[in-house]
Chains A and B, each alone.
Chain A
Amino acid sequence: MGLGQYLRSIKDAIQTIGEGMAVTASHMVRKPVTLEYPDRLPGDVRVQDTLPFRYRGILEVDLEICTACLACERACPIDCIVIDAEKDKAAGGLVMTRFDIDMAKCMYCGLCSEPCPTGAIHHTPEFEGADYSLESLVRRFVKAPTIAYKPKKVGETDPNVKPILDRGLRYIAEFAKGGTD
């Protein structure tokens, strides 16, 4: 090692250490990005509201637009979704008597929401799922026998269902887009 190389390595050491220290010093004057969940959030912020649209939190079903096609039940790799639906001429279509999701079993893979034709079953940004018993983690969506949704050729006109369907279709559009945010 010649003298030139020797001095150059000293110069490199000083320069690179100085550069590194400049980077850390610049971080010292930035505000931290940490959110102090759960008790010191700024203002009325809910962490759930800041999460991305496709965040995979606890599963939810919009029964208003569920067609009872059982695609989600078939897609679930661990069978945590159970749906009971029967044809009932008098009521005018499929009648759902049970739509249970066992969140204790759910592994948040998202395979149920991909085949859903209306986006009725989807993950929400809600993640606070702690509970005291396994039984109470089973989410029962059908409270009373419900008639399954039938898509209309002209598009949805009912003002009560329209926003729910729009949101469901947005999930489908987001899935079709693929990739990450």
Chain B
Amino acid sequence: MGDLVQSLIDAKLTPEGVSDWVFYLTAALVFGGIVVFGFVLPIAGITTWVERRIMGRMQSRIGPNRVGPAGFLQWLADGIKNMLKEDIVPTAADGPLFRFAPYVVMTGFVGTFAALPFTSALIIADLNVGILYVTSVTALVVVGILMAGWASNNKWSLLGGIRSAAQIVSYEIPAGLSIFPIVLLTGSLSMQDIIKAQGAGPYSWFLFANPFTFLAFFVFFVSALAEGNRTPFDLPEAESELVAGFATEYSGMRNLLFFMAEWGNLYVIGAIVTTLFLGGWHVPFTFENPLVQHGLEFATFFLKAYGVGVLVPIWLRWTLPRIRVDQMMSMCWKYLVPIAFVNLLGTAAWMLWAPVWMQVVVRLVLLTAAVGATLAFLRRVVFHLEAAKLGREHLSFNPLGTARSPG
């Protein structure tokens, strides 16, 4: 986007006598506004509806279905409700910190979008330290959560905040270490360069580049879930133990900001995973029309990011119970960190010594293994369907479908 602004300035489209930095600032605010209100907020909002719909179906319920077609406008109704609610600050709370905390969390979350790619041309700032920027700006979230936990002056909130700090600080390490193999392979930290080093087909994704990046994908995914405070790592909120954790004392819009950041973070996880491992916006064909080309690229990137970053975590959330604090810590330090180190060293060794034929064979083996695992998984799904002994009339692949008739 910087180039675009510079070209506008060069073309003398700016008013006379205004310094360039004013124009840059205006452009940044406008683009920021477009991204936040046109993309981030709807994504976070609609994800709440998608989650409740999927959760309902996984529990043989229907989910929200009254506001708008199939309940689609539920997120707007919830948003309006939350904005109209009273904004309560407890008398014993540290007022300024308490009011400020949601904005810090929101900043840490929205800030990532500055470096997240959408298509090959559409990225707000293709920083040369892109992935580093994304991981570091996400770390701001923990500051906000700890601030909220402390300023609430409440035991549950404080426990939630401290748990969150311990969890995010621990899981930053395997997450960061799982990014390094990709950085080794590309030789660049820029998000666009990482995507450009991959291709359209799964064969040329970094996911299947070598056995170590294959493992790194899973390590990164689990760590990203933990950093995003998602189930099974939702210890900071832990409804059954800590009321609502760091968000206990918050009401109305401030409470909504926390949850918007949580759901929006899912898309951020997906976008990072897609960039690093799943070939980003690559489409197999090129088109003359730039609108078609970038539209397709956007759709590809969005579907990958939404599928991996939003739908799979939702699915996991309604499958797995919350893990214990000590299990969460031992999983990070005893399993993910050593595996991440092995991945880093392994990728380096692989780049040094693996001959070309071996790289090709291993890519194909990994691809076959992934397909085989998917097929084995589908067999288990069919097994569970058959074990339930349901008639064909009790099956429906339509997630918007209605109820079964009684009988």
Contacts and interface: CB of A to CB of B under 8 A. Distances in A.
Given A34-B61, A50-B406, A22 B384 contact: yes
B405 A42 contact: yes
B31 interface: no
B401 A31 contact: yes
Interface string B44-85: 000000000010111111100100000000000000000000
B61 A21 contact: no
Contacts of A22: 377, 380-381, 383-384
A10 B222 CA distance: 13
Contact of B380 (A18, A30, A36, A42): A18
B243 interface: no
Contacts of A28: 54, 57-58, 399
Contacts of A29: 381, 385, 395-397
A16 to B, nearest CB: 9
Contacts of B399: 28
A37 B403 CA distance: 11
Contacts, number: 95
**Interface magnitude class on chain B:** 35 or more
Contact of B377 (A10, A21, A34, A43): A21
Given A28-B57, A31-B396, A21 B316 contact: yes
B335 interface: yes
A30 B316 CA distance: 18
Interface in B304-326: 315-316, 318-320
Nearest to B318: A24
Contact of B58 (A24, A33, A36, A43): A24
Interface string A2-25: 000000001000000111111111
A23 B59 CA distance: 11
Given A28-B54, A28-B58, A31-B395, A21 B403 contact: no
Interface of B: 54, 56-62, 65, 315-316, 318-320, 335, 377, 380-385, 388, 390, 393-397, 399, 401-407
Interface of A: 10, 17-36, 40, 42-43, 45, 47, 50
